[in-house]
């Protein structure tokens, strides 16, 4: 049974950082979802992430660092537009994919010649990264802290519920409360002449174009966009992902006994189990995963979701729901 730490003091952060450097795993909160972290330079520790998550070995991990100053450590080629993005949106819910440096081993990149890097916007995550750097650590490799393909955790309790039986006594879970954003980071390919979204998130097409002054040519967030570049494997790119045990059905009227997630103005109907009624798109993203998990806790067979329309983070919500419903 892993250690569950709800008192995330500076001393606790130092202890967790030392635990990482010793080769153990530490689950920690970010503004998006909880991550399962290991020393990104320790192949054996990173291998334990794959084992605990039952994650395919060729599925790359994101390296979390404390500031954009670490870009040069992990990336061999950093374009000017990537620097602009980092200045504008880090710390924040954005991962940049770049050509990897020698520091980024195959065991982190899934054997690709690229690496994903992110600076999270959460006090505990940043405190852990700072403490880790102070004792010689260079980065924390961290996918979401759940079994592969399942719903990402947005609370420490969700991490414990899903992973405790796979973690060792020396591993730790840091409790930082509920995540503020609720869906995973935007992943941006920065290996070409212009940025390309590989996974939509809270950093949107408009935000990227305003930051870089460049028009995104190919984007996973733009319907009908063509992709002629080499396909880069990234987290959350499989057709089926983010899925609860319950069947997820999109955009139909819910029936009695089914779970229902929709904006607050949408009525549920008699006998329907209302799992969430968010007031806004941001709220929708924040509560989505906890609502999907609640469906399984309540033993529901089906969850109906009326998807939010429009741009912004609604694009990311629809992306996650499309994958959750693909079975």
Q: Read out DSSP for 138-170?
A: --EE--BSSSTTBPPPSSHHHHHHHHGGGS-TT
| Residue 284 reports pLDDT greater than 50 | yes
Digit-coded pLDDT (tens) for 180-195: 999 999 999 999 999 9
Structure tokens at 158: 């969700």
Distances (CA, A) of 261 to 27, 28, 124, 159, 291: 28, 27, 30, 22, 8
- The domains located in the chain, with CATH, are 3-174 (3.90.870.10), 247-324 (3.40.50.11030)
Is residue 310 over pLDDT 60?
yes
DSSP H/E element including 129: helix 123-134
Q: How many residues does the chain have?
A: 327
Looking at residue 306, its pLDDT comes to 98
DSSP-derived 3-state class of residue 280: coil
Per-residue pLDDT, 225 = 43
Per-residue pLDDT at 8: 75
Query: What average pLDDT score do residues 35-52 get?
Result: 98
Per-residue pLDDT of 193-228, as tens digits, reads: 999 999 999 999 999 999 999 998 655 544 444 444
Task: Provide the pLDDT for residue 233.
Answer: 76
Structural contact between residues 183 and 288, judged by C-beta atoms closer than 8 angstroms = yes
Please report the beta strands in the chain, taking only residues with DSSP state E, as ranges in sequence order.
3-5, 26-28, 35-39, 62-64, 75-77, 94-100, 114-118, 140-141, 172-174, 186-189, 196-199, 247-250, 259-261, 273-276, 302-305
Report the pLDDT value the prediction gives residue 226, as an integer from 0 to 100.
Answer: 42
Q: Do residues 31 and 180 make contact, with C-beta atoms less than 8 angstroms apart? A: yes
Residue found under tokens 């079975």: 327
pLDDT, position 224: 41
Q: Which tokens sit at 225?
A: 């966009």
pLDDT at 222: 44
Read off the pLDDT of each residue in 89-116 and give the average, rounded to a whole number: 97
Residue 284's nearest CA partner among 202, 213, 186 is 202
* pLDDT band, very low/low/confident/very high, at 176 (cuts 50, 70, 90): very high
* CB burial readout 150-180, b (16+ within 10 A) else e: bbbbbbbbbbbebbeebbeeebbbbbbeebb
The per-residue pLDDT for 2 is 65
Q: Residue 169 has which token pair?
A: 């006594």
Computed over every residue of the chain, the mean pLDDT equals 92
| Tens-digit pLDDT profile for residues 29-42 | 999 999 999 999 99
Closest by CA to 122, choosing from 176, 159, 174, is: 176
Q: Is the pLDDT of residue 266 over 50?
A: yes
């Amino acid at each position: 049974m892993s250690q569950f730490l709800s008192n995330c003091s500076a001393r606790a952060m130092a202890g967790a950082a030392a635990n990482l450097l010793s080769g153990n795993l530490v689950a920690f909160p970010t503004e998006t979802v909880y991550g399962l972290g290991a020393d990104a330079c320790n192949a054996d520790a990173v291998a334990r992430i794959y084992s605990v998550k039952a994650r395919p070995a060729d599925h790359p991990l994101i390296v979390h660092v404390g500031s954009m100053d670490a870009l040069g450590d992990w990336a061999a080629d950093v374009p000017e537009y990537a620097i602009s993005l980092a200045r504008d949106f880090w710390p924040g819910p954005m991962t940049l994919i770049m050509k990897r440096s020698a520091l980024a081993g195959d065991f982190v990149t899934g054997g690709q010649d690229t690496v994903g890097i992110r600076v999270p916007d959460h006090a505990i995550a940043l405190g852990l990264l700072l403490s880790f750097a102070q004792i010689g650590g260079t980065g924390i490799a961290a996918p979401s802290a759940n079994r592969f393909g399942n719903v990402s955790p947005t609370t420490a309790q969700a991490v414990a519920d899903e992973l405790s039986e796979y973690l060792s006594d020396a591993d730790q879970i840091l409790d930082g409360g509920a995540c503020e954003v609720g869906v995973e980071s935007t992943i941006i390919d920065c290996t070409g002449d212009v940025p390309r979204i590989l996974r939509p998130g809270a950093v949107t097409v408009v935000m990227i174009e305003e930051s870089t002054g460049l028009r995104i040519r190919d984007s996973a967030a733009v319907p009908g966009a063509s992709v002629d570049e080499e396909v880069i494997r990234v987290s959350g790119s499989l057709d089926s992902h983010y899925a609860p045990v319950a069947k997820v059905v999109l955009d139909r009227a819910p029936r009695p006994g089914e779970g229902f997630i929709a904006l607050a103005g949408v009525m549920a109907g008699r006998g329907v189990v209302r799992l969430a009624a968010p007031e806004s798109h941001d709220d929708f993203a924040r509560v989505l995963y906890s609502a999907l998990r609640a469906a399984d806790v309540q033993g529901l067979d089906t969850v109906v979701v009326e998807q939010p329309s429009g741009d912004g983070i609604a694009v990311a919500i629809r992306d996650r729901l499309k994958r959750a419903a693909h079975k």
